[in-house]
Amino acid sequence: MAHKTVDVLLVEDNVADADLVREAIEGGKLIINLNVVRDGEEAMEYLRAQGRFKNATRPDLVLLDLNLPKKDGREVLREVKADPDLSSIPIVVLTTSAADEDILHSYKLHANAYIEKPVEFESFIKIVNQLTEFWLSLVVLPKR
Amino acid sequence: MTNEALKSREENNQLILDSLIDQAIFLLDSGGYVLSWNAGAEKIKGYLQSEVIGKSFSMFYPVDDVKNGKPVRDLRIAETEGRFEEEANHFRKDGSKFWASVSIFAIRDENAHTKAFVRVVRDISRARDDALALTKARELLEARVNERTKDLLRSNTELEQFAYIASHDLQTPLRHISSYVQLLTSKIRKTTVLDERTEKWVEYILSGTKQMKSLILDLLTYSRIGRVDIKVEEIDVLKLLAHVADEVREPIRVTQAKIVYDELPMIVGIRSQIEQLFQNLIENALKFKKSEIDPLVTIKCQDHGEFWMFSVSDNGIGIDSKYFERIFLMFHRLHSTDEYAGTGIGLAICKKIVEFHGGKIWVESTLGEGTVFSFILPKKERVTLTTLAKESMEAS
């Protein structure tokens, strides 16, 4: 059971999709602090606590969309997992793409999981809740 | 023979020789010296009779050939084998070259000794030029076909990218509409009870988005037939149907349907398309069942020589004969969406698949009793793609 606040970083450029995640999380069992950034560059700044994200808390989990403006999700994944400081943060790719190449590529870049955004809304809510419960309640995460 | 008769025979022979104006026909003695000349020889080789009589026939050969002893060799071949034939470059008096067909025949005496040769030369430059032009034209045509095929393949790839992205990007806003309408109604229901009419409106919106999603996916499927996945293979229809029945097991369970088939052959075709074909027909049979009667779908196959003829029959609501042609057209539906779900593309997809394989599909039906969909598929692969296109697609 999580007693402290859990921080999740969502990297998603589409506002409507980001709000859906927020809705799903708020309806769930866990108390989650959700932060949203809009593109790959902001994501890296946030994770490194640089620039306007100077006071950012290191997230317990990152939900990453692949198709992002500026720096795309694949680049973010590669950079984070190559950085010894950041590589231990679990990254779950949450994207609309069902392409085999994207799936394989993501796992090759050491994504912790790959989830295809479902079109059905109920499925989406269920998945987000299952996701967060698994990563933030069931598994043991490294201390920050 | 009298002198007069002889003279007239000689004149006749000369007349014959001179009429053969496209052939140089002349006599050589056993040493290769020119004994006679005809009008054709004058025309083809450009020499007058007075310029050649008594001269060696090697004067007609290129200098290098003479150095190599070719003229003598040619005569020797004619002597031993009776004839010599070749095609080669020859020169006219003015030095111009022409492509010649040369024959040398040996004339033997009673003791089988060669006493003279007949040499026949034909100018076949025209024929050779025509042959070369034909080859060149054919190469040009093939090059053009290859270019066009490459263009076609490129635009196919672009079309596929377009179709995929369009369907993908169209589904995102659809997802948003669907999700947020559900969120909205959940929120409102927390504080207000929605009356029946309002609930109906919400249902209309949501089923509208579901309908659009089906349409987008069906259009994508339709556009892909013949563009993507064109690997032709041998298909065991029995195994394929078992797979299809598995895909459709929910509707089968819900309608308590029975799908019946006996012996079915091995056919040649594109597996994913044939699966789609049978699946669409079976799904339709289940969908358009009579309300109180469990659907019974019978699949048969008849050997028709070069074709297999398949039939998928049901005991459903049937189709009015005046719609027999129309139902295969895209978006043509005979019932509204609330009566029967669907996009109206299923049968258009079936038709495209069957025709892509080189076959035909048609329907017979009696309203209120049932329907039979029949289609023929050629036994030998007759998929309508050029070999080059197929090879390129398989390579990529």
Q: HEC states along chain B? A: CCHHHHHHHHHHHHHHHHHCCCEEEEEEECCCEECCCCHHHHHHHCCCHHHHCCCEHHHHCCHHHHHCCHHHHHHHHHHHHCEEEEEEEEECCCCCEEEEEEEEEEEECCCCCEEEEEEEEEECHHHHHHHHHHHHHHHHHHHHHHHHHHHHHHHHHHHHHHHHHHHHHHHHHHHHHHHHHHHHHHHHHHHCCCCHHHHHHHHHHHHHHHHHHHHHHHHHHHHHECCECCCCEEEEHHHHHHHHHHHCHHHHHHHCCEEEECCCCEEEECHHHHHHHHHHHHHHHHHCCCCCCCCEEEEEEEEECCEEEEEEEECCCCCCHHHCCHHHCCCCCCCCCCCCCCCCCHHHHHHHHHHHCCCEEEEEEECCCEEEEEEEEECCCCCCCCHHHHHHHHHC
Say if B157 is an interface residue toward chain A (CB within 8 Å): no
Give Cβ neighbours of residue B89 (< 8 Å, ≥ 6 apart).
B62, B97, B98, B99, B100
CB A89 within 8 A of CB A143: no
Question: Which of B171, B172, B178 lies at the smallest CB-CB distance from A121?
Answer: B178
| Chain A residues within an 8 Å CB radius of B172 | 14, 17, 96
Each of the 396 residues of chain B gets a pLDDT tens digit; together they read: 677 877 888 888 888 888 888 889 999 998 889 999 988 888 888 899 899 999 999 888 888 888 999 999 999 999 888 899 999 888 888 888 888 899 999 998 888 888 889 999 998 888 888 999 999 999 999 999 988 888 887 877 787 777 777 777 888 888 899 999 999 998 999 999 999 999 999 999 998 888 888 888 888 888 878 776 678 889 999 999 999 999 999 999 999 999 999 899 999 999 989 999 999 999 999 999 998 999 999 999 999 999 999 999 999 999 999 889 989 987 777 777 767 777 888 999 999 999 989 999 999 999 999 999 999 999 887 665 544 455 555 554
Distance, in Å, from the CA atom of A28 to the CA atom of A23, rounded to the nearest integer, reads 9
Q: Which candidate in A97, A121, A124 is best for mutational testing of the B interface (most B CBs within 10 A)?
A: A121
Q: How far is A57 from chain B (nearest CA, A)?
A: 30
Say if B171 is an interface residue toward chain A (CB within 8 Å): yes
| Chain A residues within an 8 Å CB radius of B213 | 119
Residue pairs between chains A and B whose CB atoms are closer than 8 Å:
27
Say if A14 is an interface residue toward chain B (CB within 8 Å): yes
Q: Which candidate in B179, B181, B187 is best for mutational testing of the A interface (most A CBs within 10 A)?
A: B179
pLDDT at B395: 55
Summarize pLDDT for B143-183 with one digit per residue, the tens: 999 888 888 878 777 877 777 777 778 888 888 999 999 99
**Minimum CA–CA partner of B182 in chain A:** A121
pTM, two decimals, is 0.57
B4: left (phi over 0), alpha (psi -120 to 50) or beta: alpha
What was the ipTM of the complex prediction?
0.79
| Chain B residues within an 8 Å CB radius of A121 | 175, 178-179, 182-183
- The confidence band for A88, taking pLDDT boundaries of 50, 70 and 90, is very high
CB contact under 8 A, A16 and B180: yes
| Chain A residues within an 8 Å CB radius of B171 | 96, 119
Say if A98 is an interface residue toward chain B (CB within 8 Å): no
CB contact under 8 A, A17 and B213: no
**Minimum CA–CA partner of B187 in chain A:** A23
| Chain A residues within an 8 Å CB radius of B182 | 121-122
Distance, in Å, from the CA atom of A89 to the CA atom of A63, rounded to the nearest integer, reads 11
pLDDT at B35: 92
- Of A9, A135, A114, residue with least CA distance to A66: A114
Distance, in Å, from the CA atom of A70 to the CA atom of A47, rounded to the nearest integer, reads 16
CB contact under 8 A, A119 and B182: no
**Minimum CA–CA partner of B171 in chain A:** A119
CB contact under 8 A, A20 and B179: yes
Distance, in Å, from the CA atom of A35 to the CA atom of A48, rounded to the nearest integer, reads 14
Residues 183-202, chain B: which have Cβ within 8 Å of A? 183
Given a cut of 70, is residue A65 above it in pLDDT? yes
Distance, in Å, from the CA atom of B273 to the CA atom of B230, rounded to the nearest integer, reads 9
Helix (H) or strand (E) holding A80: helix A73-82
pLDDT at A31: 85
Summarize pLDDT for A8-35 with one digit per residue, the tens: 999 999 999 999 899 888 877 788 999 9
Q: How far is A116 from chain B (nearest CA, A)?
A: 13
**Minimum CA–CA partner of A97 in chain B:** B168
Residue B309 phi, psi dihedral angles, 5° rounding: -110, 115
Residues 56-95, chain A: which have Cβ within 8 Å of B? none
Distance, in Å, from the CA atom of A138 to the CA atom of A131, rounded to the nearest integer, reads 10
Q: Which candidate in A94, A116, A119 is best for mutational testing of the B interface (most B CBs within 10 A)?
A: A119
CB contact under 8 A, B178 and A16: no
Say if B179 is an interface residue toward chain A (CB within 8 Å): yes
Say if A119 is an interface residue toward chain B (CB within 8 Å): yes
